[in-house]
A and B are shown apart, each in its own frame.
Chain A
Amino acid sequence: MIKAILIFNNHGKPRLSKFYEHYSEDTEQQIIRETFHLVSKRDENVCNFLEGGMLIDGSDNKLIYRHYATLYFVFCVDSSESELGILDLIQVFVETLDKCFENVCELDLIFHVDKVHNILAEMVMGGMVLETNMNEIITQVDAQNKMEKSEAGIAGAPARAVSAVKNMNLPEMPKNINIGDISIKVPNLPSFK
């Protein structure tokens, strides 16, 4: 079972926090801080598995993480999950985000955290892996977004205006953070810029 999924940046600011077990708000923030503290200490070429910290403490839980440019993706799992499998799952998650946001960067996650939650909900449900096929996930997410847009009608105009603004080349939105910096080992992906 997956206990928690956390995304935070190199300074520890949370970009997504999903807990599959209940903790109080204070405890959740403490867990985020502590996880960042543990994970940021790690070198670049050590393994992706960590033991230690509040979520762990004496139990058989582990932290499995991947570092992409400015973001850490951390999954806290118990011993019923395959560690290497989760590592691949993180990869699928990131590639899905990349497809859905077109060359995803940290700013996309910041401004569309609800969409990230929706994508995640198609992959992990109740702490269990639901779907790992990227195309299937994207198909479902697209269909749901279409449903939402068609409902919006005129009331959706502000939202559409915002997405138009996003696509303008405003200087305050530098797209200089690219997850594609690190080479990803899956062969059938187009090469990143």
Chain B
Amino acid sequence: MAPSVCLQEMIRVIRSARTQGEERGVIQRECAAIRAQFRQADSGGRSHNLAKLLYVHMLGYPAHFGQMECVRMIASPRYSEKRIGYLGAMMLLDEKQDASLLITNSIKNDLSHSSQYIQSLALCTLACMGSAEMCRDLAPEIERLLKASNSYIKKKAALCAVHIVRKIPELGELFTPSAHSLLSDKNHGVLHGAVVLITELCERNPGNLDEFRKAVPELVQIMKGLVTSGYSPEHNVAGISDPFLQVRVLRLLRILGRNNDEASDAMNDLLAQVATNTDSSKTAGSAVLYETVLTIMDIKSESGLRVLAVNILGRFLLNNDRNIRYISMTSLQKIVQTDHTAVQRHRGTIVDCLKDQDASVKRRALELSLALVSAANIRSMMKELLRFLSTCPPELRSHATSGIFNAAERYAPSQRWHIDTILHVLITAGGDVRDETVPNLIQLISVASELHCYTVHKLYRALISDISQQSLVQVACWCIGEYGDLLLKGDCDEIEPMQVTEDDVLDVLETILQSHMSSPTSRGFALTAIMKLSTRITNNIDRIRSVVSIYGSCIDVELQQRAVEYNALFKKYDHMRYLIMSSHTIMGFNSVTCLCVFSAPNVTVYEKGGVNLKLQCDNQTETAITVTFTASNSTQSDITSFTLQAAVPKSVQLQMKAPSGDVIPAQGRGTVTQTILLNNPNKASLKMRVRLSYTSQGTLCQDMVQIDSFPSPAWN
């Protein structure tokens, strides 16, 4: 048998492969050899084989066949084999595999091994991929190791305990007493682990807060020691003594001081000291200063201290280093809700950051700017936000447009301003506006009735220069259809006059219909607009008619259906066309709502005691049908409290409209009508049961009528 190739040799061979295919071939051969050697249980090169497999795994090739080998290696007495076995376990195994349970026993044994390095392998693996069962099994061991004399083991056991608490929060009780005593250790690694453990225990279970608040004096002492100690090469980073530990302690103090006056008092002096004395010229000092500022803002600190903190953040906003600026904005975001006025003071600098080249800084600046918009600054802020929109990176655009619309809706100083803002956004970034906003915008425009002329003119002008932005196209088409007459009149107070002929307008709408850039929804809007214009123009009805009939054979089914029904309106129901097309209602966007009226006879379904109920049926589409009941009264006195209730088969959907009234005048002088909309998607045979209830001559009458056949010629 050939001697096993060691890891470096295999890497060299893989690297010399010139194509992806060649590399794959090499790796397949190596994996086959490795698999064969796993089966051999050859003790010589076992760790090499697993190392090779892990390398191959990193490159993205399947390595699951090594899982059992990891289990075997972990059980080996040799350190080199254990080491690679544990590494393999962390990379290849997870809770979901059965193999992971098999290593529980090995871990348990190794946790009590005489060598601290073997103990540490077990601790590391447990903290990385320990499942809930493994954690439950081994928690007592970990608790024991927390009290070990060896600081190397103690610090690892502390972090392992954190992992256990994350998996099984109830086990936190087990570690609470030891966690507190770890704070008196001198070793920084142990202190660090202890602080992380206590932080986790407090966050998981707020009941622990009282217990650990007793540790605040100790934590303050630790911080004081770090801040005032002289230069110590051991833990020094850029002149700051162990900034990592300082940051952790400050974070824990924040959790303990929150909403608690006593704890906050105890740490006030320390925080002031750190805030004023820390040198922030390097990253390490800045990290500590930020944590201090966030802690000051989150606990119950004195107002003087809070002002100091916000000023520090403001100073950092002006720093040249982009990292610092980014972090300061992240910090300001955290406090903008609670300390709004303080953050407002820095609005100018934040808005300037919108122009920064760095996309991450821009993102933070956008979030913060949107949070700072208020009624007082809406005009100036919107100017900045709109300017930002034109240079905004693509990944932020839809968020920016939504934010702008929200802000505009909340704080718009006037309707005209609001409409202008909407138009500006549609023109600059109409392609990134979320689809749901189009109906909202149409609603807003339709409500601002004095501005219809202005709006339609502006939208028309935007449309003739660019039809690629779908939201703009949709809103513009709707406006042109609705207010086309205002557009054609030519003059408008607020903008220079522009002569728009009927042909011009129809040209634009037809271009949209034919353009490959238009989405199906936009096409629908354009067709509907053309149709609506047929009632607002005089000279080009034929042109409209021919467009509509062309689209009657369009491939897009929605468009075709619309066109066919509009066609029908032209042909059969010209007298209805004005009525339907000139109504100023918002048309349903995704469904065809055009009324296609097929007249049907009016049938009497109920006649009793002078009350006559007639039924008329109109088909909207193949599955939608409008049923109109007309009730009349031939008795001598009025009928009051007239109500109808209707029931239909399960597959049919029913919607009752409001009745015209509930009093039927006597002697046929008037009627009550009730419309019911039905949707019959399965085309089931339509039946209806109607219950009438009314008061006639002082008596309450109730009756039921079953309608088994409907007088509609369309149903087959």
Cα distance A158–B156 in the bound complex, in angstroms: 33
Find residues 196-234 in chain B having any chain A CB closer than 8 Å to their own CB: 196, 233-234
Cα distance A83–B360 in the bound complex, in angstroms: 13
Cα distance A32–B162 in the bound complex, in angstroms: 27
Q: Which residues of chain A come closer than 8 Å to B83, judged between CB atoms?
A: 118, 144, 148
Q: Does B438 contact A (CB under 8 A)?
A: no
Find residues 376-394 in chain B having any chain A CB closer than 8 Å to their own CB: none
The number of chain B residues with a CB under 8 A from chain A is 75
Contact digits for B178-202, partner A, Cβ 8 Å, 1 yes 0 no: 0000000000110011001000000
Q: Which residues of chain B come closer than 8 Å to A121, judged between CB atoms?
A: 87, 124
Which of A17, A114, A147, A186 touches B237 (beta carbons < 8 Å)?
A186
A186-B395 in contact (CB<8A): no
Q: Does B117 contact A (CB under 8 A)?
A: yes
Find residues 52-88 in chain A having any chain B CB closer than 8 Å to their own CB: 52, 82-85, 87-88
A136's nearest neighbour on chain B, judged by CB, is: B189
Contact digits for A23-51, partner B, Cβ 8 Å, 1 yes 0 no: 00100110010000000000101111111
B8-A126 in contact (CB<8A): no
Cα distance A28–B55 in the bound complex, in angstroms: 14
A111-B11 in contact (CB<8A): yes
Q: Does B715 contact A (CB under 8 A)?
A: no
| Interface residues of B, dominant DSSP | helix
A158's nearest neighbour on chain B, judged by CB, is: B6
A43-B357 in contact (CB<8A): yes
Question: In whole Å, how far is A128's beta carbon from the nearest beta carbon of chain B?
Answer: 5
Question: In whole Å, how far is A7's beta carbon from the nearest beta carbon of chain B?
Answer: 10
Cα distance A48–B96 in the bound complex, in angstroms: 35
Q: Does A129 contact B (CB under 8 A)?
A: yes
A82-B358 in contact (CB<8A): no
Question: In whole Å, how far is A54's beta carbon from the nearest beta carbon of chain B?
Answer: 14
Cα distance A51–B326 in the bound complex, in angstroms: 12
B243-A85 in contact (CB<8A): yes
A-B Cβ contacts below 8 A, count: 163
Cα distance A115–B162 in the bound complex, in angstroms: 26
Given A110-B11, A114-B84, A22-B95 contact (CB < 8 Å) = yes
A147-B322 in contact (CB<8A): no
Question: In whole Å, how far is B152's beta carbon from the nearest beta carbon of chain A?
Answer: 7
B330-A188 in contact (CB<8A): no
Query: Contact size class for A?
Result: 35 or more
Q: Which residues of chain A come closer than 8 Å to B495, judged between CB atoms?
A: none
Cα distance A64–B337 in the bound complex, in angstroms: 26
Q: Which residues of chain B come closer than 8 Å to A188, judged between CB atoms?
A: 233, 236
Q: Which residues of chain A come closer than 8 Å to B244, judged between CB atoms?
A: 85, 88-89, 129, 132
Contact digits for B103-146, partner A, Cβ 8 Å, 1 yes 0 no: 00000000000010100000110011100000000000000000
B78-A46 in contact (CB<8A): no
Given A84-B283, A84-B286, A47-B325 contact (CB < 8 Å) = yes
Cα distance A88–B124 in the bound complex, in angstroms: 23
A159-B127 in contact (CB<8A): no
Contact digits for B320-331, partner A, Cβ 8 Å, 1 yes 0 no: 001101110010
Contact digits for A121-133, partner B, Cβ 8 Å, 1 yes 0 no: 1000111111111
A46-B159 in contact (CB<8A): no
A16-B58 in contact (CB<8A): yes
Q: Does A187 contact B (CB under 8 A)?
A: yes
Cα distance A172–B397 in the bound complex, in angstroms: 49
Cα distance A158–B287 in the bound complex, in angstroms: 47
Q: Which residues of chain B come closer than 8 Å to A117, judged between CB atoms?
A: 87
Q: Which residues of chain A come closer than 8 Å to B188, judged between CB atoms?
A: 133
Question: In whole Å, how far is A12's beta carbon from the nearest beta carbon of chain B?
Answer: 11
A129-B283 in contact (CB<8A): no
Q: Does B51 contact A (CB under 8 A)?
A: yes
Cα distance A51–B396 in the bound complex, in angstroms: 11
Q: Does A182 contact B (CB under 8 A)?
A: no
Cα distance A22–B155 in the bound complex, in angstroms: 24
B80-A84 in contact (CB<8A): no
A22-B8 in contact (CB<8A): no
Q: Which residues of chain A come closer than 8 Å to B160, judged between CB atoms?
A: 125-126
Which of A48, A83, A113, A147 touches B55 (beta carbons < 8 Å)?
A113
Given A87-B323, A187-B238, A148-B80 contact (CB < 8 Å) = yes
Q: Which residues of chain B come closer than 8 Å to A130, judged between CB atoms?
A: 155-156, 159, 189, 192-193
A28's nearest neighbour on chain B, judged by CB, is: B60
Which of B124, B242, B360 touches A46 (beta carbons < 8 Å)?
B360
Contact digits for B297-332, partner A, Cβ 8 Å, 1 yes 0 no: 000000000000000000000000011011100100
A29-B60 in contact (CB<8A): yes
Q: Does B355 contact A (CB under 8 A)?
A: no
Cα distance A193–B155 in the bound complex, in angstroms: 36
Given A22-B95, A130-B159, A155-B44, A87-B360 contact (CB < 8 Å) = no
Cα distance A136–B192 in the bound complex, in angstroms: 14
Cα distance A80–B357 in the bound complex, in angstroms: 28
Q: Does B336 contact A (CB under 8 A)?
A: no
A14's nearest neighbour on chain B, judged by CB, is: B58
Cα distance A147–B62 in the bound complex, in angstroms: 31
Q: Which residues of chain A come closer than 8 Å to B6, judged between CB atoms?
A: 158-159, 162
Cα distance A117–B89 in the bound complex, in angstroms: 13
Find residues 34-71 in chain B having any chain A CB closer than 8 Å to their own CB: 44, 51, 54-55, 57-60, 62-63
B287-A84 in contact (CB<8A): yes
Cα distance A140–B244 in the bound complex, in angstroms: 20
Q: Which residues of chain A come closer than 8 Å to B360, judged between CB atoms?
A: 46-47, 49-51
B164's nearest neighbour on chain A, judged by CB, is: A126
A133-B58 in contact (CB<8A): no
Q: Which residues of chain B come closer than 8 Å to A102, judged between CB atoms?
A: none
Which of A84, A132, A140, A151 touches B78 (beta carbons < 8 Å)?
A151
A22-B330 in contact (CB<8A): no
Q: Does B577 contact A (CB under 8 A)?
A: no
B156-A25 in contact (CB<8A): no
Q: Which residues of chain B come closer than 8 Å to A159, judged between CB atoms?
A: 6
Q: Does B502 contact A (CB under 8 A)?
A: no
B361-A22 in contact (CB<8A): no
Q: Which residues of chain B come closer than 8 Å to A118, judged between CB atoms?
A: 83, 87
B287-A151 in contact (CB<8A): no
B358-A126 in contact (CB<8A): no
B322-A114 in contact (CB<8A): no
Question: In whole Å, how far is A139's beta carbon from the nearest beta carbon of chain B?
Answer: 10
Cα distance A186–B243 in the bound complex, in angstroms: 13
B117-A143 in contact (CB<8A): yes
Cα distance A187–B238 in the bound complex, in angstroms: 7
Q: Which residues of chain A come closer than 8 Å to B238, judged between CB atoms?
A: 185-187
Which of B59, B78, B242, B327 touches A83 (beta carbons < 8 Å)?
B327
Q: Which residues of chain A come closer than 8 Å to B87, judged between CB atoms?
A: 114, 117-118, 121
Given A17-B58, A46-B360, A133-B235, A22-B129 contact (CB < 8 Å) = yes
Q: Does A135 contact B (CB under 8 A)?
A: yes
Cα distance A20–B94 in the bound complex, in angstroms: 11
A84-B290 in contact (CB<8A): yes
Q: Which residues of chain A come closer than 8 Å to B434, judged between CB atoms?
A: none
A152-B237 in contact (CB<8A): no
Q: Can you list 15 A-B contacts with CB-CB less than 8 angstroms, sorted by A residue number?
A: A22-B96, A22-B129, A82-B291, A84-B286, A85-B287, A88-B237, A111-B8, A111-B11, A117-B87, A126-B127, A126-B160, A132-B192, A133-B235, A140-B152, A148-B83
- 17 A-B pairs besides A29-B60, A187-B238 with CB distance below 8 A are A22-B95, A46-B322, A47-B326, A84-B286, A84-B290, A114-B51, A114-B87, A125-B160, A126-B162, A128-B159, A131-B189, A132-B237, A140-B152, A147-B79, A148-B80, A155-B44, A185-B283
Listed from nearest, the 5 A-B pairs whose CB atoms lie closest are A126-B127, A84-B287, A46-B358, A47-B322, A22-B94
